[in-house]
Structure 1
């Protein structure tokens, strides 16, 4: 989870009888009787260091979701997301972070689709911290095409407007060459959504964005470029939903 915030903890699984304690604030030592079984299914990310083992993907994601399920005031301060329960009762801050983590986890593993809930397994002492229903809900909301946490949030607040929302929609030049990919949208209705991070303020990126806009509008497309400010509050999110809904003819 340090991908999202540097201050997130780094978890190590240790044996129940380990005579060690957390030596730093950024470490979390979790004791388990099932360490040997976990080792047997672990991965070696770097063949140069064969003693460096990482937990299997299903257990890793399950642990991240479980940790995020516990309210933490310090995490809320360093990893801010809006409380959007007025938009959708399921959109608690914990749930939004969990989907962001799941999206990024599947993205970095080049997954073609979200994993099945039964893969989020591990020894009972570890697995019990996340309820199966919550895991299924998070995975059902996961999209492997999300390339950043803000894109995940943007997709969550728009996905229920109309069926058929897709991510990473290719945009081609008139000569047939790929120009870019829209972050998400409804291609059958020619409605395209882009999330504009800070790099979109650079002149070279602005020129590229203008070319993308012209190409999509040339074919009758409607384009929305969304910034962080439009995802900060319920009022801003509802305003965005209304604009996109109008484009979809709702």
Structure 2
């Protein structure tokens, strides 16, 4: 995959060389990419094409190098210039949104992702990324974007878990349960989803399911939240001895801390 990426970059550089008067040492660029010396590659390309270049491929190539090098300031400068030349370019918009997310400029990131949505209303990734920009589960826009993402790809575990959490905040436990069920059916080995579903299943009084799932999960890891949910299910089904044993285990873990 790494070699394929480098080959693709070289083809791009070849096209750049044809569009620009400055000569590019392709062997040098190949070596810099192969050794992940992206900062040097960015500086080399910037010098070769000049800081005033308006060639779109050159700008995105330089921006990519600085982005990979972790220089978000330089990366944004070149991607922003490319965006001004060709508005509506999805890869450029994604890069700008990603850069601003890294820099904590969430409002700018939302604007860039919003522009992507206008161009591609069925883009699952952008809805997922947009939802992540809203920290509060009570934010109505977070639910809107999670619902859109979940509708497009209901089997995505991350989106399912986040949407279930939002549904739970509004006490829509049936919806939360169904969202998780669909994702778990697609990925039965996803223990994160199984653990997420336990407290919701308890609230829906699906105690037998909690017991079966909880006992299985404890074989993998003695997670305190799983122990607590399993203990509750035992208590509600009047299996008090087992419930007491687990509650004492929780107390023991707390004392040990």
Return the structure number with greater relative CO, CA threshold 8 A, min gap 6.
1
Q: Specify which structure has the higher proportion of strand.
A: 1
Larger Rg: 2
TM-score norm. by structure 1 comes to 0.31
